[in-house]
Amino acid sequence: MGTGRLIVLTGPSGVGKGTLLKSLLKRHPELCLSISATTRNPRPGEVNGKDYYFVSPQQFDVLVAQDELLEWAEFAGNRYGTPRQSVLEAIQAGKWVILEIELEGARQIRHTFPDAMRIFILPPSIVELEYRIRNRGQDSEGAIARRLKRAEEEINAANEFDIQIINDDFDKALDRIESTLFAPAVC
Ligand code: 5GP
């Protein structure tokens, strides 16, 4: 069995992380995507247990109090966190586990898992990012404003990550993520 590994994928809301990840998982079904818990309401089409575990603020409090989250953070008025046990079990079983999380969570993982590979996805520009968030048509004006403010903060921290990939051309961005993950180790 191979050696387990933790991979963190971060980037501003609307940058296309989710779509990139979907394609990456199609190419590499052996990769394992961690499903987060969130207090956010499901968007149309989102499924509990597949996209997220949708929990109440009280249930999230319990997860935090019982130390069941590997990391967690507040984002645009909601809380998001990574279930600890399923991730640790998968890594112990030799799997490569991907966390698709925001900046504060990625910073926490940097302390707890210094060996994690941390990738930051950048938009071609803020203007393009705003267009993508609006075009998605899933967020209120207030939520869009909060996400854009947070996006600027996140983009400013991109150089904290091992590698930065611009999602300008989807296929090229996907190829770069793939080659980053599967590049032979340099001794
Ligand atoms: P969305 O509401 O668009 O699904 O996610 C908002 C942000 O929360 C995204 O940047 C996403 O990567 C991040 N996120 C999703 N799950 C987690 C998690 O478990 N922990 C942290 N820290 N961020 C998460």
For ligand 1, is residue 108 a contact (CB within 6 Å)?
no
167: nearest Cα among 21, 27, 15: 15
Q: Is the CB of 52 under 6 A from ligand 1?
A: no
β-bridge partners, 74: 79
pLDDT mean values, one per 10 residues, the chain (187 residues): 90 92 96 98 94 98 98 95 97 97 97 96 93 85 90 96 96 96 76
Q: pTM for the full model?
A: 0.93
What is the three-class DSSP state of 70? strand
Residue with CA closest to ligand 1 atom 12: 101
Is the CB–ligand 1 distance for residue 40 below 6 Å?
yes
* DSSP helix/strand/coil, 35: coil
CA 68 – CA 56 distance, rounded (Å): 15
How many A from CA of 101 to the centre of ligand 1? 5
Dihedrals φ, ψ of 54, to 5°?
-85, 115
CA dist 157 to 29, 61, 110, 119, 122, Å?
A: 30, 28, 13, 12, 11
Whether 14 lines ligand 1, by a CB cut-off of 6 Å, is no
Give the contacts of 174 (CB within 8 A, at least 6 positions apart). 20, 23, 24, 27
